[in-house]
Amino acid sequence: MPDLFEIMQTCRSMRRLKPDPVPDELITRILEAGTSAPNGGNFQRWRFLVIKDRKIKEAVQVWYKRAFDETVGPRYLASEPPPGVSKERYLRQHEAVSYLTEHFHEAPVWIVACQEDGVAPNRASGASVYPAVQNMVLAARALGLGTTLTTRHLLYEKEAEAALGLPRGVHSYAILPIGYPMGKFGPTKRAPLAEIVYQDRWGEPYAG
């Protein structure tokens, strides 16, 4: 198994997934990695919904696709590539995003990361569930499984959460579509540290 740094640095979003089933033991290992993550006060208000039922995935995909067709797709094409990413790579990513949109429900397993609302849900609420989400993304990578952290269904939050059957007082924060990847893992592309890390004073280069 690659070491942790290699796993992190080659954990690009894997949007093209095979429909082949994923053994439950691997999903359990991913969930265990998720629940090892830090969370506020260790209250563990997180809940994880494993979805294999095709009908449920299809019902959510409708909203995921609608958000792409109406908002995300056009915005993406009108935007400049992000820092550290060439135009060509950006367009390739758009194709992959579009592919995942069409095939979202075909990923054999989804893990939906949810959380019970606390007494006063606020903007920091996600901070108690996203560390678990990222642990699961890395665990999937370590096990040779592909996934992508997705939140786009939240553009149609009410409709998607109704399709997921979430009870009152519980909200979804991310959907991880998981499966064996068609392509190869590869390096993530980001701006160099020199452009984004400062030392002591904002804008002054980090000397490390």
Ligand X SMILES: Cc1cc2nc3c(=O)[nH]c(=O)nc-3n(C[C@H](O)[C@H](O)[C@H](O)COP(=O)(O)O)c2cc1C
- Specify the residue, 29 or 94, whose C-beta has the smaller distance to ligand X: 94
- Return the structure tokens found at 27: 């999903």
Task: List the one residue out of 19, 9, 10 whose CA is nearest residue 182.
Answer: 19
Give the residue closest to ligand X by C-beta.
152
Task: List the one residue out of 179, 187, 120, 171 whose CA is nearest residue 145.
Answer: 179
* Three-class SS of 121-178: CCCCHHHHCHHHHHHHHHHHHHCCCECCCECHHHHHHHHHHHHHCCCCCEEEEEEEEE
Q: In whole angstroms, how close is the CB of 152 to ligand X at the nearest point?
A: 3
* Stretch near ligand X under the rule CB under 6 A, chosen from 36-44, 114-122, 148-156, 199-207: 148-156
**Residues paired with residue 186 on neighbouring β-strands, in sequence order:** 11
* Stretch near ligand X under the rule CB under 6 A, chosen from 110-118, 150-158, 160-168, 177-185: 150-158
- Specify the residue, 39 or 134, whose C-beta has the smaller distance to ligand X: 134
The DSSP string of 5-32 is HHHHHTB-----B--S---HHHHHHHHH
Q: In whole angstroms, how close is the CB of 130 to ligand X at the nearest point?
A: 8
Regarding 152 and contact with ligand X (CB under 6 A), the answer is yes
Regarding 148 and contact with ligand X (CB under 6 A), the answer is yes
* Stretch near ligand X under the rule CB under 6 A, chosen from 28-36, 112-120, 146-154, 200-208: 146-154
- Residue 12 to residue 28: CA distance in whole angstroms: 22
Q: Considering only residues 10-29, where is the footprint of ligand X by CB under 6 A? A: 12-13, 15
Regarding 65 and contact with ligand X (CB under 6 A), the answer is no
Q: In whole angstroms, how close is the CB of 153 to ligand X at the nearest point?
A: 7
In the complex, which residues of this chain contact ligand X (CB under 6 A)? 12-13, 15, 97, 100, 148-152, 188
